[in-house]
Amino acid sequence: MIVDSALYRGGVRQQPDCHPHEYDKLRAGASGPGDFVWLGLYAPSHSELDEVATAFRLHPLAVEDAVTAHQRPKLERYGDALFLVLKTLWYVDADDAVETGEIACFLGPGYLITVRHGRGSRLDAARHAIETTPDKLAQGPSAAVWAVADAVVDGYLSVLGEMQTDVDEVETSVFSKDRTSDSERIYTLKRELAEVRRAVVPLRAPMVGFATGAVEHVDPDMQPFFRDVLDHLNQCAEMADSLESLLSSAFEAHLARISVQQNDDMRKISAGAALVVVPTLIAGIYGMNFTHMPELGWTFGYPMALLLMAGAVVGLWMWFKRSGWL
C-alpha cells in the first residue's frame, strides 16, 4: 500500500524515527515551519486508507472518492484541507489508445498524501526531482503538489506529441495515391482525443486557483511555478483542439476522395460498357433477317461489319483515354 513516506524539514528529506504505518508519529514529526509529511499510497483498500484518514483527519467523502477513483479532475475544500484529483495519461502506440490513471492528493497543514491508481501514475521520478531542489521543498507541501502536477501535465504533452505523429500518418495516408481505408483509425484517434480532453480541460480551473493565489496552503513563492504548469496545460488544450480539427478535416477529405474514386470507377465502367455496346449494336443491325438488305448479298459485307466494329471500338477507346475516362 505505502509506496514511499518521508518527512521533509527545511526542504531536506529526513529519516523518520517511526514505522511507516505509525501515521500519528509521522505527522507529529512535522512540527516546524515548512515541515511536512509526504505519504505516497498505491491503490489502497478502504480499510487501509481509513487508517490514514483517522491519523490525518481526512474528510470521509474525499476518502471515498480516493478509494473508488474514476473521478473527474477537480479541486475541493474540506475544512482546512484540499482534495485535488488529476488524471494521468499514457499512450499505447500499437493500438492508438490513450490509457488513463488517477492521482488523488490530500493537501493540508504539514502533509501531502497522494493516492495513485493505474499503471501510468508513478511519482517516484517527480519525488526524486523535487528532492534535488531543497529551496522549493522548503516552501512546504504546495511544492510537492507542484511537482506532481508538473509531472502529470508533462505526461499530457508527451501523449499529445505521440498522437501528433499518428495524425500526421493519417494525413499522409488520406492524401496518398493509394486507396486506403482510414475512417476507422480516424474515429479511434478522435475517441482517444476526447479522453485527453476529459483529463486536460477540467484541470485548468484548479491550476488557475493555484497560480493566482486563490487557494490556501499554497506558498506565494510557488505561484510562478504553478503558472508554468497552467501554461503547459493551456498548450495541451490547444494541441488537442488542433488535432481534433485536423482529424475532422482528414475525415472529410477521406470521404471526398472515396466519392471521387467512386465517380472514377463509374466512368471506367461506363466506358467499358460503351466499348461493348457499340459492336453489339452493329452486330444486331447486321444480323436482322430481312429480304431487302443489301448487306446480305454483298461479298464483303461480313468483313466490313467486323471492320466497322473494330474501328468503332478503337475510336471510342482513344476518345475515352484522351478524356480521362480510362
What does the DSSP assignment read for 219-245? -GGGHHHHHHHHHHHHHHHHHHHHHHH
Taking residues 28-49, what's their average pLDDT? 86
Specify the residue for cell string 507542484.
Answer: 146
**184 or 66: whose pLDDT is higher?**
66
- pLDDT > 70? residue 221: yes
- pLDDT > 80? residue 202: yes
Q: What is the tens place of the pLDDT at every residue in 120-144? A: 667 888 889 898 998 888 888 999 9
Q: How far apart are CA 148 and CA 128, in angstroms?
A: 11
Taking residues 204-226, what's their average pLDDT? 90
Taking residues 250-269, what's their average pLDDT? 74
Domains, the chain, with CATH or none: 2-257 (3.30.460.20), 265-323 (1.20.58.340)
CB within 8 A of 160, min separation 6: which ones? 196, 236, 239, 240, 243
Answer yes or no: are the C-beta atoms of 83 and 65 closer than 8 Å: yes
- pLDDT > 90? residue 153: yes
Helix (H, G, I), strand (E, B) or coil at 57: coil
Amino acid at 26: L
Amino acid at 150: D
Tell me whether residue 114 is exposed, middle or buried, using C-beta atoms within 10 angstroms of its C-beta: 0 to 12, 13 to 18, 19 or more.
Answer: buried
User: Pick from 120, 137, 130, 101: which is nearest to 8 by CA?
Assistant: 137
Q: What is the tens place of the pLDDT at every residue in 155-195? A: 999 999 999 999 998 888 888 777 777 788 888 899 999 99
Helix (H, G, I), strand (E, B) or coil at 7: strand
CB within 8 A of 165, min separation 6: which ones? none
Of all residues in the chain, what percent carry a pLDDT higher than 90? 36
- pLDDT > 60? residue 79: yes
Helix 141-174 to helix 223-286 angle (10° resolution) is 20
Q: How far apart are CA 86 and CA 191, in angstroms?
A: 20
User: Pick from 60, 61, 41, 160: which is nearest to 112 by CA?
Assistant: 41
Answer yes or no: are the C-beta atoms of 112 and 39 closer than 8 Å: yes
Specify the residue for cell string 481534433.
Answer: 244
Q: How far apart are CA 294 and CA 283, in angstroms?
A: 15
| E strand or H helix at 76 | strand 74-78
Q: How far apart are CA 180 and CA 45, in angstroms?
A: 48
Q: Average pLDDT, whole number, for the chain? A: 84
Q: What is the pTM of this model?
A: 0.78
Answer yes or no: are the C-beta atoms of 281 and 205 closer than 8 Å: no
Other CB atoms within 10 A of residue 162 CB: 16
CB within 8 A of 178, min separation 6: which ones? none
Q: What spatial distance separates the first Cα and last Cα of the chain, rounded to whole Å?
A: 70
The pLDDT value recorded for residue 287 is 65
- pLDDT > 80? residue 279: no
- pLDDT > 80? residue 226: yes
Residues present in the chain in total: 326
Taking residues 109-128, what's their average pLDDT? 86
The pLDDT value recorded for residue 218 is 83
Least confident of 77-86, 113-122, 147-156, 286-295: 286-295
The pLDDT value recorded for residue 326 is 59
The pLDDT value recorded for residue 307 is 75
Answer yes or no: are the C-beta atoms of 63 and 104 closer than 8 Å: no
- pLDDT > 80? residue 258: no
